[in-house]
C-alpha cells in the first residue's frame, strides 16, 4: 500500500507540474502572441548599443510590452538577440510581442525625413533644419553656397543638424566628382566650381526638366561669345545674399525692378561679363548634369512664355517678339 501511495503521490506531482507548465506556457503564449498593452500608436527610440535587457526595459517603460522577462527569453530562444536593430519605431496600438520582435528584426524604423528642394540657398537649408524640433545641435558655420546637394535625407529623432549638413556636403562632392568625368568636351566651364555656378543659374531660371539642357546651351553660347549673361536670379542674389524671403511674394518680397539691374555687384550679370564669383543657390544633380552636357544649338536668348516654360530665340528681333508676347500674357 505504501509504495502505491508513493507512486500516486509522485504521479500527482508530475501531473501537477505538467498542469503548471501548461498554464505557464499558455500564459506565455498569451503574452507573446496576444494583444499588447499599448493603447495608442507610439514612437519609441531604441538607442544604438542597447542590449536585449535594455531594449526589454525600454519597451516595458513605454508600455509596448508587459513582460520584459518573456521578451528576453523569446529573443534568446528564437536566435534574434543579435538581429534586433536600433532606431526609432512606431508601434501600433495593441501590437503583440511577436510583432514587436519581427518589426525590430526587419529594422522597420519610423521614417523621419527632410526634403531639400533644388535651388534653395544655403541660408534656406539652414533655416529648414533649425525649424525641425526633432533634430538637435547647432549648425556651426553657414555652409558655402552651392555645397549642399538637394535631396531627401532620412534621420532619427535627435540627430545632430551639423552632421546632416556634413552629409549634404559630402553628397554634393560625390555628385560633382561623378558628373565632371562625364562632361562634354570644349566647354567654357574649366573647373568644378564653375560648373556648380552655372548649374545654380540654370536651376533658378527654369523648373521645367526638359528645358534644363536647352537653357544651359543658351548660357554656354553667350559665354563663348563673350556676351553678358543677363540673368535676373544673379541680380536677386546680389540684393539678398541668399537670405531669401519665403512669404509668397518672391525672393525679394516684391518684383524685381529695372533700377535693381544697375546694382554694382560682381553677381550682377547685367554689368559684368562671365559667370558670377560663386553659386547663387544649391543646384540639383540634373542641373549640374545640364551645365556639363548642354544642348547644342544657336539660341542666345530666352524669355518666359506664360505656360511655365520659355520661348527661345537666335536673334534679338525674334527675342523682342517673344518678350512682347510675354508682356501681353503677363498683363
Cα–chain center distance at 282: 14
Q: Answer yes or no: do 93 and 124 share one domain.
A: no
Does residue 240 lie within any of the structural domains? Answer: yes
Does residue 180 lie within any of the structural domains? Answer: no
Q: What is the pLDDT of residue 293?
A: 97
Q: Answer yes or no: do 318 and 197 share one domain.
A: yes
Cα separation of 48 and 233, whole Å? Answer: 45
Query: What backbone phi and psi angles, to 5 degrees, belong to 218?
Result: -60, -50
CB 223 within 8 A of CB 275: yes
The residue count for the chain: 331
| pLDDT tens, the chain, 331 aa long | 455 555 444 444 454 444 434 444 444 556 677 888 989 998 999 888 889 899 999 999 999 998 889 888 888 888 887 888 888 899 999 999 888 999 998 888 888 999 999 999 999 999 999 999 999 999 999 999 999 999 999 988 888 999 999 999 999 999 999 999 999 999 999 999 999 999 999 999 998 999 999 999 999 999 999 999 999 999 999 999 999 877 777 788 888 888 999 999 999 999 999 999 999 999 999 999 999 999 999 999 999 888 889 999 999 999 999 998 888 877 7
Task: Name every residue whose Cβ is closer than 8 Å to that of residue 174 and which is 6 or more positions away in sequence.
Answer: none
Q: What is the pLDDT of residue 78?
A: 80
Does residue 22 lie within any of the structural domains? Answer: no
Does residue 79 lie within any of the structural domains? Answer: yes
CATH number at residue 68: 3.30.1490.480
- Domain C-terminal end among 84, 110, 136: 110
Per the structure, the complete domain to which residue 226 belongs is given by 187-330
Q: Answer yes or no: do 239 and 259 share one domain.
A: yes
Q: Answer yes or no: do 210 and 325 share one domain.
A: yes
Does residue 85 lie within any of the structural domains? Answer: yes
Does residue 175 lie within any of the structural domains? Answer: no
Q: Answer yes or no: do 97 and 127 share one domain.
A: no
Q: Answer yes or no: do 323 and 193 share one domain.
A: yes
Q: Answer yes or no: do 196 and 132 share one domain.
A: no
- Domain C-terminal end among 76, 110, 144: 110
Q: Answer yes or no: do 234 and 132 share one domain.
A: no
Does residue 285 lie within any of the structural domains? Answer: yes
Counted domains in the chain: 3
Cα separation of 34 and 41, whole Å? Answer: 17
Alpha helices in the chain (DSSP H): 2-33, 52-61, 68-77, 97-106, 122-130, 161-180, 192-205, 212-225, 232-240, 285-292, 316-330
Q: Answer yes or no: do 230 and 130 share one domain.
A: no
Closest by alpha carbon to 270, among 229, 300, 301?
229
Q: What is the pLDDT of residue 257?
A: 87
Does residue 16 lie within any of the structural domains? Answer: no
Q: What is the pLDDT of residue 255?
A: 86
Angle of the 2-33 helix axis to the 97-106 helix axis, nearest 10: 50
Cα separation of 213 and 179, whole Å? Answer: 14
Q: Answer yes or no: do 322 and 260 share one domain.
A: yes
Q: Answer yes or no: do 237 and 303 share one domain.
A: yes
CB 235 within 8 A of CB 252: no
Q: Answer yes or no: do 326 and 211 share one domain.
A: yes
DSSP code at position 62: T
The label of the residue with cell 522577462 reads 69
Amino acid at each position: 500500500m505504501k509504495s502505491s501511495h508513493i507512486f500516486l503521490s509522485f504521479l500527482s506531482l508530475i501531473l501537477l507540474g505538467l498542469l503548471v507548465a501548461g498554464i505557464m506556457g499558455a500564459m506565455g503564449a498569451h503574452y507573446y502572441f496576444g494583444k499588447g498593452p499599448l493603447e495608442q500608436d507610439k514612437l519609441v527610440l531604441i538607442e544604438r548599443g542597447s542590449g536585449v535587457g535594455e531594449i526589454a526595459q525600454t519597451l516595458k517603460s513605454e508600455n509596448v510590452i508587459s513582460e520584459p522577462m518573456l521578451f528576453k527569453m523569446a529573443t534568446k530562444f528564437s536566435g534574434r538577440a543579435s538581429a534586433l536593430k536600433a532606431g526609432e519605431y512606431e508601434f501600433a496600438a495593441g501590437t503583440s510581442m511577436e510583432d514587436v520582435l519581427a518589426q525590430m528584426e526587419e529594422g522597420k524604423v519610423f521614417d523621419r525625413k527632410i526634403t531639400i528642394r533644388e535651388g534653395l540657398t544655403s541660408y534656406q537649408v539652414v533655416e529648414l533644419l533649425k525649424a525641425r524640433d526633432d533634430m538637435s545641435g547647432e549648425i556651426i558655420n553657414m555652409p558655402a553656397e552651392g555645397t549642399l546637394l538637394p535631396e531627401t535625407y532620412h534621420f532619427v529623432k535627435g540627430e545632430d543638424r551639423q552632421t546632416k549638413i556634413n552629409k549634404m556636403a559630402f553628397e554634393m562632392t560625390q555628385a560633382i566628382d561623378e558628373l565632371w568625368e562625364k562632361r562634354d568636351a570644349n566647354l567654357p566651364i574649366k573647373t568644378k566650381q564653375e560648373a556648380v555656378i552655372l548649374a545654380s543659374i540654370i536651376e533658378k531660371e527654369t523648373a521645367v526638366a526638359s528645358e534644363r539642357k536647352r537653357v544651359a546651351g543658351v548660357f554656354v553660347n553667350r559665354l563663348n561669345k563673350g556676351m553678358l549673361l543677363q540673368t535676373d536670379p544673379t541680380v536677386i542674389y546680389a540684393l539678398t545674399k541668399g537670405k531669401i524671403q519665403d512669404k509668397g511674394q518672391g525672393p525679394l518680397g516684391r518684383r524685381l525692378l529695372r533700377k535693381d539691374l544697375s546694382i554694382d555687384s560682381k553677381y550682377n550679370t547685367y554689368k559684368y561679363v562671365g559667370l558670377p564669383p560663386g553659386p547663387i543657390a544649391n543646384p540639383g544633380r540634373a542641373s549640374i548634369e545640364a551645365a556639363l552636357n548642354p544642348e547644342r544649338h544657336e539660341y542666345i536668348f530666352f524669355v518666359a512664355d506664360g505656360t511655365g516654360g520659355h520661348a527661345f530665340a537666335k536673334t534679338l528681333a525674334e527675342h523682342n517678339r517673344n518678350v512682347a508676347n510675354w508682356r501681353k500674357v503677363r498683363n
